[in-house]
Each structure stands twice: as C-alpha cells, then as structure tokens.
Amino acid sequence: MIATNNNAAAVAEDIRDIKPPIEISDGSAWIWWMLIIAALLVAAFLLWRLLKKRKANIVLPPPIPAHVRAKQKLEQALALITQPKPFVIAVSDTARAYLEERFNFRAPERTTEEFLRELAGTKLLLPEQKESLGGFLASCDLVKFAKYEPGENELRELHASAVRLVEETEPQPEVPAANNQPEVPK
C-alpha cells in the first residue's frame, strides 16, 4: 500500500498519546463512608435519648383550671367598675372564654344570638343557666353596642351573674367511692 500525503495526515491525526492509568479502588472507601454514616446515626440517636430523658425530668406545673382562671379574671375586672363599657367587655369576654375552655364550645367567635341558638341545642347547661346566660349576654350587649350606661349596682349584678355561672358549672371534685359493703361487727 502506497501512502499518500492525505493518508499520512489522517494517520498522523489518529495517533494519540497514551491515557494515564485508571485508579481501581480496593473497596475500602465505601466501608469508611458507611462507618462514618453509622457513627453519625448512633450519635444522633444517643443525643435524642438524652434530650428525651431531660424533657421527661422537667416537671411542669399543673395547668390552672378554667374556673379558677375565670374567677381571677372576674376579680380583676372589678377594678374597671367605674368604666361601664371596659368593665362589661372584660366580664363578658371572661364568661365566654370560660365557657369555651370548660365545655369546648366556641363562644368568643360568635354573636350572642348565634351563640345562644347553638347553646339551646346542647345539654351543656341547665335550662335555668341558659336563660340566665341569655339575660347576662343581652345586658352586656346593651352596654357594648347600644351605649347604655348602667349604674354601679347593675354592673355588680352582671358581675355576680358571671361569677354564679362559673361557680354553678365548675367541675365538682371527685368524691372517693365509699365501700358499699356493711361493716361486720367483730
């Protein structure tokens, strides 16, 4: 075969340098990575257990019952008795918040009419309590929205009505069941 200049140029371009050697791993690199990941997982687990143990050791004070908190807020509202509108707002908001927390009944987000209509369909309160609550909320609405200015005696009656509602509906302490078996004389 006779080589021409064109063929010689093509053959010269086809000749390349030798490639460097390829590194073949012995397989130990992935073992090291797995050991590092396992160590991190173990450290995370131990840290989680330590934090969980510390959290379990923290003793939180028992939550203040709804009726106690409501009575405290009603007592604080008495400081506003010379200002009818802020006083009535504090008393009615306390009563509504108490009913919501005590009976899980959404009271603060509703109008008085909506609230009383929904309350009428439940057995949460006695009929007398529902009627008393309706009168209480209607009186509060007069002060809040109709600009009615009640005297101090009327405000104290509203306060007493709210306190009575809380006291009548507060959970009663559990009485330990007495052993119903008659005593046997010895």
pLDDT in tens, 31-55: 888 999 999 999 999 999 988 887 7
Model pLDDT, residue 110: 78
Specify if 83 maps to a domain. yes
Gyration radius (Cα) of the chain, Å? 40
Q: Are 119 and 132 in contact (CB under 8 A)?
A: no
Model pLDDT, residue 75: 93
Backbone region of residue 115 per phi and psi (left: phi > 0; alpha: psi in -120 to 50; beta: other values):
alpha
> Cβ-count burial of 8 within 10 angstroms (0-12 exposed, 13-18 middle, 19+ buried)?
exposed
CA pair distance 98, 71, nearest whole angstrom: 9
Structure tokens at 34: 């797995």
Number of independent structural domains in the chain: 1
Specify if 6 maps to a domain. no
Closest CA to 116 of 129, 104, 101: 129
Specify if 46 maps to a domain. no
Specify if 123 maps to a domain. yes
Residue appearing with tokens 């009818």: 84
Least confident of 1-5, 88-92, 114-118: 1-5
* Average pLDDT of span 58-78: 88
Structure tokens at 49: 């257990």
Specify if 36 maps to a domain. no
Least confident of 70-74, 101-105, 148-152: 101-105
CA pair distance 95, 71, nearest whole angstrom: 9
What ranges in the chain are assigned the alpha helix state H? 5-14, 28-57, 66-77, 84-103, 112-120, 127-145, 152-169
Is the pLDDT confidence value at 26 over 80?
no
Please give the mean pLDDT across all residues of the chain.
83
9-19 burial, b at 16+ Cβ within 10 Å, e below that, comes to eeeeeeeeeee
CA pair distance 113, 83, nearest whole angstrom: 25
pTM over the 0.85 mark: no
What amino acid occupies position 115? F
Specify if 96 maps to a domain. yes
Q: Helices 66-77 and 84-103 meet at what angle, rounded to 10? A: 180
Is the pLDDT confidence value at 3 over 70?
no
Domain that holds residue 161: 67-169
Model pLDDT, residue 92: 92
CA pair distance 116, 130, nearest whole angstrom: 8
